[in-house]
Each structure stands twice: as C-alpha cells, then as structure tokens.
Amino acid sequence: MVTAYLAPAQAPTREEIDRTQGLLLLEFGTDWCGICRALQPHVSALVEKHPAIRHIKVEDGPGQPLGRSFRVKRWPSLVLLKDGAVVRQLVRPSAAELKSVFAEVVPAPAPSA
C-alpha cells in the first residue's frame, strides 16, 4: 500500500520521533519528485514484508524543521531509527542498497504458519 507524504504541519516533531519505540523508517521527499516515485515500489515492498517497522513519509522542503534536524538535503532521504536513535540514513539509495540495509538492520519476519 502506498501512502501519501504527510504535509509538514501534520508531520511528527523531532521530539516525538526521538521518543518512538521500535523500528521506524522516516522517508523524506515529495509527491512530484521523480526519484522518490521511482523508489516508492521498492520501499513499499520492503515495508510490507517487515510489519515490525513503522513507515512515515514526510513532505520536505526548504526550512522544514524535521528534515533539517536530520540534515536532509536531497530526496528521497530515508532515516531508519530504532528506539528513537538513527541506525542508518540513506540518500537516494538504489533498490539494492535499500534491500541490503533492510537485511542488515530489520529483523526477518516470522514465517507464516
């Protein structure tokens, strides 16, 4: 399932992100960004395979405080956090790089019965 980017006013604050428990994938970009749209099917597929990870898409732009707090300068930028701490940050990752990071960091889903 593809979700829309949250408008900056709807995005969580950095303090809320820092208090988040478990795995969280923050995705910074915009709906009109071609590179963001091209990567989206790969991000969605990985998130669907790993239900333990929470995925939040945040619309970014100049002067947006959440993106600036993670030093986002290019889209898409993905920040993988565990219990509020940054584990990995990726800028314009390839599908292979994204898959590799998920394999390293995100626990494999439990097999279906």
Cβ pair 74, 35 in contact under 8 A: no
Query: Which residue in the block uniquely carries the two structure tokens 């969605």?
Result: 44
pLDDT of the chain, 113 residues: tens digit per residue? 567 899 988 999 999 999 999 999 999 999 999 999 999 999 999 999 988 899 999 999 988 999 999 999 999 999 999 999 999 999 999 999 999 998 888 777 666 65
Query: Which residue in the block uniquely carries the two structure tokens 């597929």?
Result: 45
Alpha carbon distance 64, 18 (integer Å):
17
Specify the pairing of strand 77-82 against strand 23-29.
Answer: antiparallel
Query: Which overall architecture, per CATH, does domain 14-105 show?
Result: 3-Layer(aba) Sandwich (3.40)
- Please state the domain extents for the chain: 14-105
| pTM across the whole model | 0.90
Alpha carbon distance 22, 4 (integer Å):
22
Residue 33 dihedral angles phi and psi, to the nearest 5°: -75, 115
Describe the crossing of helices 34-49 and 95-105 by its angle, rounded to 10 degrees: 30
